[in-house]
Every structure is written in structure tokens, then in C-alpha cells.
């Protein structure tokens, strides 16, 4: 934190098509940030994805050990363990290996995966 607060801010403009997308039968995944991406982050081991799911689809998402995954429902509705979430809702997942997401309609999810215990000090610890 002490290093990044002293750095001069930078701005880079990226277009949606600058990022790799994997298309599957009932969903697509846009990989926004990963270790070899165009975006540089001071934070270590951050993965950022955007999912677009078709309606009435059940997705099983893998959660890497030692990570916390934060999700934001950009558009649509999903059900996770019987809890309905819709546009604007936010949830986190940790200490589990996968989650089952059931889509209710066309849904866009944004995900940030980060270490539970990073090697650097954060605002919360």
C-alpha cells in the first residue's frame, strides 16, 4: 500500500474487444485481467472476468484454493443456494471449491478473484 499510494496515477483506455473471450454453448467468459494481460496491476494474483449466461442455465464455477471471489450482478437474475440475486447485487465466495449458479434470465456477472491473504498490507489488515 505504501508503494502504490506514492505512485503517479496512470490511465489506459481499453476497448471491450481488447480482451480474450471464450464462447461456449450457454455462456461466454471475457478474461479482463490475468497474469499475462495488457492491464498492469500492482496487486498480485488478481483475476478479473465477465460472464454472460443464457437463461435457465446452471453454471458450476471453480473457486481457487486460498482465494476470495467477489461477484457483481451487472444485469439479470441468478439463484445461488436458493438465494435470488438480481442486477446491482454483490456477493463474495471463499473457503469453498466451487459454486453452482442458476440463471433465471440473460445474466451478466463480473468477478474479481484475489488472494485471501496477500503478501502485502491492505486497508483491512
In tens, the pLDDT along 26-65 reads: 999 999 988 777 787 777 889 999 999 999 999 999 999 9
Contact at 8 Å (CB) between 113 and 81? Answer: no
Domain boundaries 18-115, corresponding CATH code? 2.60.120.10
More confident site: 24 or 124: 24
Lowest mean pLDDT among 67-76, 96-105, 115-124: 115-124
More confident site: 79 or 15: 79
Looking from the CA of 30 toward its CB, the CA atoms found within 13 Å total 13
Determine the pLDDT at residue 19: 87
Q: How far is CA 6 from CA 1, 10, 37, 122, in A?
A: 9, 12, 24, 15
Whole-prediction pTM = 0.87
In whole angstroms, what is the distance from residue 85 CA to residue 97 CA?
21
Amino acid at each position: 500500500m505504501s508503494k502504490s499510494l506514492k505512485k503517479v496515477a496512470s490511465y489506459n483506455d481499453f476497448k471491450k474487444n481488447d480482451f480474450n473471450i471464450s464462447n461456449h454453448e450457454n455462456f461466454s467468459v471475457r478474461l479482463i485481467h490475468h497474469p499475462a494481460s495488457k492491464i498492469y496491476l500492482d496487486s498480485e494474483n488478481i483475476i478479473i472476468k465477465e460472464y454472460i449466461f443464457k437463461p435457465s442455465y446452471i453454471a458450476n464455477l471453480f473457486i481457487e484454493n486460498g482465494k476470495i471471489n467477489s461477484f457483481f450482478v451487472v444485469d439479470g437474475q441468478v439463484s445461488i443456494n436458493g438465494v435470488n440475486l438480481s442486477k446491482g447485487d454483490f456477493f463474495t465466495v471463499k473457503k469453498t471449491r466451487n459454486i453452482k449458479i442458476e440463471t433465471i434470465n440473460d445474466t451478466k456477472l463480473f468477478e474479481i478473484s484475489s488472494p485471501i491473504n496477500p503478501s502485502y498490507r491492505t486497508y483491512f489488515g
